[in-house]
Structure formats: C-alpha cells, structure tokens
Amino acid sequence: MSALSDTAPAARPAGGLSASVRDSLVVAKRNLIRMSRIPEIILFGLIQPVMFVVLFSYVFGGSINVPGAGLSPGGYREFLMAGIFAQTVTFATAGAGAGIAEDMHKGLIDRFRSLPMARGAVLTGRTIADLVQTALTLLVLAVVALIVGWRIHEGFPKALAAFGLLLLSGYAFTWIGALIGLSVRTPEAATSGGLIWLFPLTFISNAFVPAENMPTFLRHIAEWNPFSATVQACRELFGNLPAGYPVPEAWPMQHPVLASVLWSVLIILVFRTLAVRKYRTATS
C-alpha cells in the first residue's frame, strides 16, 4: 500500500475558471522571467519589424501607387504602417511555436503534466507571455513609425482600439503556433513550419499593396483573408486611408472591425481546442 502511495501522481484540485486562470498566470510569469533573462529574444524580435518599417518606407515609398495618395512617399508610409503592425503581431506565431517545441524537446512539458494544474494552463500561460512581448514590440514599432512620418488622424481612443485589435489578432494566431509547436519534434522545425504559411498569409493581402492591383482570384483571397480584415480595420481606426480610397465590396472590407474580431475569436476557439487536445496526447 505504501509503495502505491509513493508512486501515485499528486491529486488534482477541484477545477474551475479561477484555478485555471491562476495556473495560467503562474506559467505566464515563468515564461516572462525566462524571456527577461535572455534579452536577445526581445532584441531580435524588435530588430526585424524596425527593419521592415525603414526598408519598406524608403525603398518602396514613392514607387507604389496608392489610390487617393498617388505615388506620395508620405501617403504610402501611412498606408503601410497598419500592414507592418499586423505582420509583426502575426510573425510572433513562429516564436511561440518554437518555444513550445523547445519545452517539449527538453521534457519540461512532461514535468508540467505531473503537477496538479489545469491542462490548458501551460499553453495559455505561454501565449499570454508571448502577447506581453508582442505588446512591447508594438510600442517600440509605433515610436519608430512616428519618427519616419506615420501619424494618427482619428484620435487616441480609436488608436487604442486599433492596437487592441492587433493584439487580439496576434493572440489568435499564437494558438496556431502552439499547435505547430506541439506537432513537430524540434524547435527548428517549429520555426520553419510557422513561417511557411505566414508569408503567403501576409503577402496575399492588402498589407503592402492595394488588393485591387492583384489578379482577380488573388484579390478575392486577399479580401477574405483574416489578416486583411485586421489591416483594413487598423487603417480606418488610425485614419490612414487616403481620401477617395476605394473600399472593396467584400463584406470583410466593408465591416473590417467586426470581421477582424470575428476572425480572431473563431481562430482562438478552433486552434485552442486543437492545441489543448494535442497537448494531452503528444506528451502522454
């Protein structure tokens, strides 16, 4: 009887939303402390989007015709920034997947499973920590954007709403990264798997060029792309759509704020469910 008691797993406390939230915050704190002790993770996460802002602003500015703004470099910078912001929060997906894959590779998640904690807390805590890092990156990126000439024209409350949409969208895509991280064997594979689908998602969109310039079949894909909905919503909330810019007739482009929220909620519901289910089987 004593031998059985020594090997029996710790009893799990009664579940509940409050216990799950508490466990998730504990895991999030652990990941944030880890990130703070490896500052290059944050540094490299900041360098790439800053490079995108500078390169796209000064290399393509004045070369891409934006309806309503023509070839004006300043007009293109304002048109561009919502796309750069959205790309930055979306590309955080690859880092989330690599981090979870690394934890699995080192056996850390197996140790978490032996603890009396909510099943989804490990993944939720990780995604919350990544969300905090993404918010820091957005803050730095906004400062750089202001330096190169980007401006907000619809007031501070709407700008905050735009950043809120960006963070919601980034959090939703992080769950896709979590699923990928749980489905591969190495962090390197998670990084590659996270980037393969991100490039077509971000470039077949209205982020960097107007969708109306694309071939018909690509234009329809771009207009119904959840990434495009977030970009369009942010442009409206920031006031970065040039006067006379033709809004496509597709429903997500006519109601981009609502479409962005709906897409984000749908992605979270679907991929969180799949990721938690994968977590229960991949490490058993």
Report how far residue 212's alpha carbon sits from residue 214's, in angstroms, rounded to the nearest whole number: 5
Mean per-residue pLDDT, 240-261: 91
> Would you place residue 62 in the very low, low, confident or very high pLDDT band (cuts 50, 70, 90)?
low
Residue 10 has pLDDT above 90, yes or no: no
Write out pLDDT tens, residues 197-240: 988 999 999 988 888 888 999 999 999 999 999 999 999 999 99
Write out pLDDT tens, residues 140-159: 889 988 888 888 998 999 99
Mean per-residue pLDDT, 115-125: 81
Contact (Cβ atoms closer than 8 angstroms) between residue 183 and residue 282: yes
- Percentage of the chain beyond pLDDT 90 is 32
- Which parts of 127-242 are beta strand (E)? none
Q: Fill in the DSSP letter of residue 64.
A: S
Give me the pLDDT at residue 192, please: 82
Write out pLDDT tens, residues 14-26: 456 787 888 888 8
CA 278 from centre of chain = 20
Domain ranges of the chain: 17-282
Please give the span between the terminal C-alpha atoms of the chain, in angstroms, as a whole number: 25
Burial class of 220 by CB neighbour count within 10 A (0 to 12, 13 to 18, 19+) = middle
Residue 4 has pLDDT above 50, yes or no: no
Phi (first) and psi of residue 149, to 5 degrees: 120, 0
What DSSP string describes 43-60?
HHHHHHHHHHHHHIIIII
Mean pLDDT (the chain, rounded): 83
